Structure 1
């Protein structure tokens, strides 16, 4: 941050310096939110959250921006989050860098990381700090002499992007896509598009709007701004073609602009990254970088932000792909394709661990079912659905597992997470580790969790006894009723064997089992009536034991398949085979989100640990 005294900070933010503090104390380090990582000569922004109050953790702070006096030099304001935005706006206007802002339903963070690599001197958003706290924190990293600022901006409602654009008014603004991510927060696709278009509308006539030519909801934003329009995509001003897999996890393609073409070898997993690279190239061209330099720097680009298709190879040669942060249907489908491509040609199984995609509103059920179908179609062998992601398991098919939380998923696969994780995170390594085992492995059960794809030895020991007891009781009842009831035909099919016999009906009515009979006057079709005496065979002791066995077998079968949509035998063989069965022989036909947080209006935003979309 540019050097400022506490008195100057108080003036800019509309606050006051605490009586015990020195107004001339200089702050020239960045602002920060985490008291566990104090910044020398920085400004700690104390937020009173639902569980933790930052004002109580200021002991290592050089200076504090908070809503009340603390033990350290403090600037007292009404709302620290609003004051942080005012301070950031002042710093941006003082330094006056060229500002590039990026938004969209997906691809923001990767595009921002790629652009930061194409503009090496730029100050850029760290990770995906794109909300009402993250954007000001990025701006406060500016120092005198900085000429480029790259900011990722997100929104959870109409008005958010307009407020962020007022803090850092962009010279170049890019909208990458309009999808279904967080549509439940906006209320409708129209409101989502209106919210994203606020960034384009913030441009002056001298600015540049960079739009995705392949997305109809984006390209039509051109009519909302007087700024210059610059497009990217398969048909844009900057376009790509000849996309193909390089065989080692990367992608090759050709990049074209203004009659020039360059080959690019992108080392990021997934062909969907080509669109992000093309967007970054278009933004870099507006900054004056030539196409050849862009190609060279894209070749050298590597993943930067965590949990964005982050690939880890464990000591036992298990490949874990971590894409668990703030997922949505489009990005999840792309991630599953990357997972499938990475698993081809490797021993073991392909296992996908999916947490819930939140903030989808009325599309929640349909979106999760579609993701389950995608996982099945791309060749995933086992799908683990955590919590509310269960509809994905139903659509996936027999080799699906549903558990209550990430810890249960990891334990069911034999892993032992060492720390708490966001929903969907942490289970991947344990599941993938189990995926490489060739020995027989039974999923572990954890307290409060249930693995629905199979039943363990305890089930096989307890439930048959219960079934036998029920059957004995039924046989006793059978002795009683056969003396008073007449006979109806019946047929039971167990394990593919059809067995016919007879059973009595109450009320003296004899009819076929397809007819419900409650009384002689209300019940039976004449064509169904049989009216024969009970066969002598059914009264013999041998028949009674046979009847007992059939009842036991029937009830045991029903009990052991408590989850109707799961084929327990198939799932058990798939899970316990340890990858011995060739993948080609298996039938293929039928991220996180992370934590939730609330947010107030842009005029008074609350602490939002999760970034906006």
Structure 2
């Protein structure tokens, strides 16, 4: 984080500065500088860090203040006075609001230097992959800050923004939401120069209350953009396409359709990635050997290329950076290294109907003599009233794709198993297990050389750990 005095942090967050048990008059600590990394996880705090104590659903961050100080915290931001602390504390009304205010001010100050460019990315699927691709391109040109993992909510996004330094040239902000208004909140913090919308689908539809609420929320990315900004939109998604009428920004389209400004043609998907021709609005084009497994990830590559083009990156640099990426992210279409003839694709960090279908289509595309395709599937969470119908639809689709063996794990995915069984043309195509351990016991003996295995579920189902176990088994 940039240098701030204790008094500045107190003013920005609307808090009261406290040393020991006594409030400190404003102005007495203007020479005390804090500039460490900010976090809500005491385990991530290091020397000079700033710990934000956030009450949570299952625990209270205030209980971990001593651990944060032991790990090196120089300042605590909290919602109540904590007695006998060895470091200053700033007491605020709401720690999440304080975090947002601090992030907003840090971004504003660095922007005032005239160098920082901000990219905001949202969508029902592909945010993390696109963020990683944009970061890979931009960090070659200058200091770039982007979130780790999927830090894209009201806490994770500002924590990422607070990693900015005075010389940062690019901020890549992944912006997720579980309800309307959350993306607007993040957009107001970061003020993107480039706002990206990838897709609008059923991911988190249960939380939003339907696809129309999801559309309304994702549209928040572009409604506050200025006329000098750029909205990078997916022309292949009709819901995203409609956002062009909702923004004052200029629009740059990406996709496979002929009307796209940044377009992919001549796609060839294989078990090692996808090759395609990337075309820019300048008329330039170049072949790309994209090593991220799954044809659907080409759309993420196009979005990243559109962002880079907007920021003045030459085509050759864009292509070179894209070709350097071999996996989307940990547990996202991650091909695990094995030596015993079994290929494990671990894609069990997130799952929506769209991403589940994309993963299964990728599995279906992998064919050849001696190859048996195996799907190990768990629940797609946060679908609410759509859950039964969507699991049923995916179960029937699997059989139609010709995937030879299906293992379904967990009660939340039982409807998928039943649908596959009803749709199947032979007995035993799909097997159901209550737990991952039960499935593993059979998979140990059933998987054989030549099998290609996709492990896919929402994070909450925990199948990513099963995927890792299988990777170790056949390593």
TM-score range, shorter chain: 0.7 to 0.9
Pairing partner for 2:42 from 13, 32, 35: 35
Q: CA deviation at 1:315?
A: 5.7
Q: CA deviation at 1:233?
A: 0.6
Identify if the C-alpha distance between structure 1 residues 64 and 212 changes in structure 2 by more than 3 Å, giving closer, same or farther: same
TM (norm. structure 2) is 0.85
**Cα distance in structure 1, aligned partners of 2:468 and 2:186:** 37
- Equivalence map 1:230-241=2 (5 Å): 230-235=252-257, 236-241=260-265
- Equivalence map 1:62-461=2 (5 Å): 62-70=74-82, 71=85, 72-96=87-111, 97-120=116-139, 121=142, 122-235=144-257, 236-245=260-269, 247-257=270-280, 258-303=282-327, 305-314=329-338, 316-341=340-365, 344-345=368-369, 349-376=372-399, 377-397=401-421, 398-411=428-441, 413-414=443-444, 422-425=460-463, 426-429=465-468
Whether the 8 Å CA contact 1:409–1:431 is kept in 2: the answer is: no
**Cα distance in structure 1, aligned partners of 2:3 and 2:468:** 45
Identify if the C-alpha distance between structure 1 residues 189 and 227 changes in structure 2 by more than 3 Å, giving closer, same or farther: same
Pairing partner for 2:33 from 3, 23, 26: 26
- Equivalence map 1:541-556=2 (5 Å): none
Q: CA deviation at 1:386?
A: 1.8
Q: CA deviation at 1:325?
A: 1.6
**Cα distance in structure 1, aligned partners of 2:337 and 2:349:** 19
Which residue is 1:490 aligned to? Answer: none
RMSD across aligned C-alpha pairs, in angstroms?
A: 2.2
**Cα distance in structure 2, aligned partners of 1:432 and 1:12:** 48
- Equivalence map 1:560-599=2 (5 Å): none
**Cα distance in structure 2, aligned partners of 1:160 and 1:386:** 31
Identify if the C-alpha distance between structure 1 residues 408 and 34 changes in structure 2 by more than 3 Å, giving closer, same or farther: farther
Identify if the C-alpha distance between structure 1 residues 20 and 277 changes in structure 2 by more than 3 Å, giving closer, same or farther: same
Whether the 8 Å CA contact 2:38–2:45 is kept in 1: the answer is: no
Q: Larger deviation: 320-329 or 107-116?
A: 320-329
State the Cα deviation string for residues 148-183 of structure 1 (Å, max 9, x = none): 111110111111111111111111101111111111
Whether the 8 Å CA contact 1:353–1:424 is kept in 2: the answer is: no
Whether the 8 Å CA contact 1:351–1:431 is kept in 2: the answer is: no
State the Cα deviation string for residues 544-571 of structure 1 (Å, max 9, x = none): xxxxxxxxxxxxxxxxxxxxxxxxxxxx
Whether the 8 Å CA contact 1:386–1:409 is kept in 2: the answer is: no
State the Cα deviation string for residues 554-590 of structure 1 (Å, max 9, x = none): xxxxxxxxxxxxxxxxxxxxxxxxxxxxxxxxxxxxx
**Cα distance in structure 1, aligned partners of 2:135 and 2:13:** 30
**Cα distance in structure 1, aligned partners of 2:59 and 2:350:** 23
Q: CA deviation at 1:311?
A: 1.9
TM (norm. structure 1) is 0.66
Q: Larger deviation: 336-345 or 160-169?
A: 336-345
1:211 match: secondary structure: strand
State the Cα deviation string for residues 201-251 of structure 1 (Å, max 9, x = none): 010111111111111111111111111111011130111110002x44111
Q: CA deviation at 1:422?
A: 4.0
Whether the 8 Å CA contact 1:92–1:139 is kept in 2: the answer is: yes
**Cα distance in structure 2, aligned partners of 1:238 and 1:244:** 18
Q: CA deviation at 1:350?
A: 3.5
**Cα distance in structure 1, aligned partners of 2:148 and 2:19:** 35
**Cα distance in structure 1, aligned partners of 2:361 and 2:290:** 17
Identify if the C-alpha distance between structure 1 residues 7 and 378 changes in structure 2 by more than 3 Å, giving closer, same or farther: farther
**Cα distance in structure 1, aligned partners of 2:385 and 2:394:** 16
**Cα distance in structure 2, aligned partners of 1:345 and 1:177:** 35
Identify if the C-alpha distance between structure 1 residues 218 and 413 changes in structure 2 by more than 3 Å, giving closer, same or farther: same
The unaligned stretches of length 5 or more in structure 2 are: 422-427, 446-458
**Cα distance in structure 1, aligned partners of 2:375 and 2:89:** 48
- Equivalence map 1:481-560=2 (5 Å): none
**Cα distance in structure 1, aligned partners of 2:321 and 2:233:** 22
Identify if the C-alpha distance between structure 1 residues 431 and 146 changes in structure 2 by more than 3 Å, giving closer, same or farther: closer
The unaligned stretches of length 5 or more in structure 1 are: 416-420, 437-613
Q: CA deviation at 1:69?
A: 2.9
Q: CA deviation at 1:256?
A: 0.9
Which residue is 1:545 aligned to? Answer: none
